[in-house]
Amino acid sequence: MALRTEELMLNMGPQHPSTHGVLRLVVTLDGENIVDVRPDIGYLHSSVEKMMEYRRYVQNVSLVDRGMDYLIALQNEQVYCLAVERLAGIEVPERGMYLRVIFDELQRLASHLVWLGTWGIDLGATTVFLWCFREREMILDLFEKVTGGRLHHAYFRIGGVYIDPPPGWTDEVKGFLDYFDRCVAEYDKLLTANPIFLARTKGVGVITRREAVAMGASGPVGRASGIAVDVRKIEPYEVYDRMTFDVPVFPEGDCFARYQVRLEEMRQSSRIVRQALKALPGGEVRSRVPMTMKAPRGEVYVRTESARGDLAIHLVSDGGEMPYRVKIRAPSFSNLYALTEMMRGWKIADVIAILGSIDIVLSDVDR
Amino acid sequence: MSVAQRKNPVGEIVGAVRALATGLGLTWQVMLRRKVTVKYPVERLPVSNRFHGLLALPIDPETGKDLCIICFQCERVCPSRCIHIEAQGKGKERVLSRFDIEMDKCQYCAFCVEVCPTEPKAIVFVPHYESSTFDRSTLLYNLDDLHRAAPKEPIATGIVDVRHRRAAGNHNGAGLAPSAARPGGTTTP
- In whole angstroms, what is the distance from residue A9 CA to residue A98 CA? 51
B113 touches chain A (CB under 8 A): no
pLDDT computed for residue B178 by the predictor: 37
Once rounded to an integer, what is the mean pLDDT over residues A189-201? 84
Contacts of A65 in chain B (CB under 8 A): 109
* A48 vs B122 pLDDT, higher one: A48
Residue B176 pLDDT > 60: no
pLDDT computed for residue B73 by the predictor: 87
Q: Is B25 helix (H, G, I), strand (E, B) or coil?
A: helix
The pLDDT > 90 percentage for chain A reads 23
Residue A216 pLDDT > 90: no
Residue A81 pLDDT > 70: yes
Contacts of A63 in chain B (CB under 8 A): 79
pLDDT computed for residue A80 by the predictor: 92
User: Which among A145, A139, A134 is positioned nearest to A109, based on CA atoms?
Assistant: A139
A66 touches chain B (CB under 8 A): yes
Handedness of CA B153, B155, B158, B159 (dihedral sign): positive
Least confident of A4-13, A45-54, A215-224: A4-13
B155 touches chain A (CB under 8 A): no
ipTM score for this prediction: 0.78
pLDDT computed for residue B21 by the predictor: 86
Once rounded to an integer, what is the mean pLDDT over residues A210-227? 89
Once rounded to an integer, what is the mean pLDDT over residues B13-33? 85
* A299 vs B91 pLDDT, higher one: A299
User: Using an 8 Å Cβ cutoff, are A355 and A19 in contact?
Assistant: yes
B79 touches chain A (CB under 8 A): yes
When CB atoms are compared, the residue of A59, A131, A145 closest to B111 is A59
Contacts of B52 in chain A (CB under 8 A): 148-149
- In whole angstroms, what is the distance from residue A66 CA to residue A88 CA? 24
Model pLDDT for residues A18-54, shown as the tens digit of each residue: 667 788 888 898 888 888 888 888 888 888 999 999 8
Model pLDDT for residues A270-281, shown as the tens digit of each residue: 999 999 999 988
Model pLDDT for residues A107-117, shown as the tens digit of each residue: 999 999 999 98
Residue A314 pLDDT > 90: yes
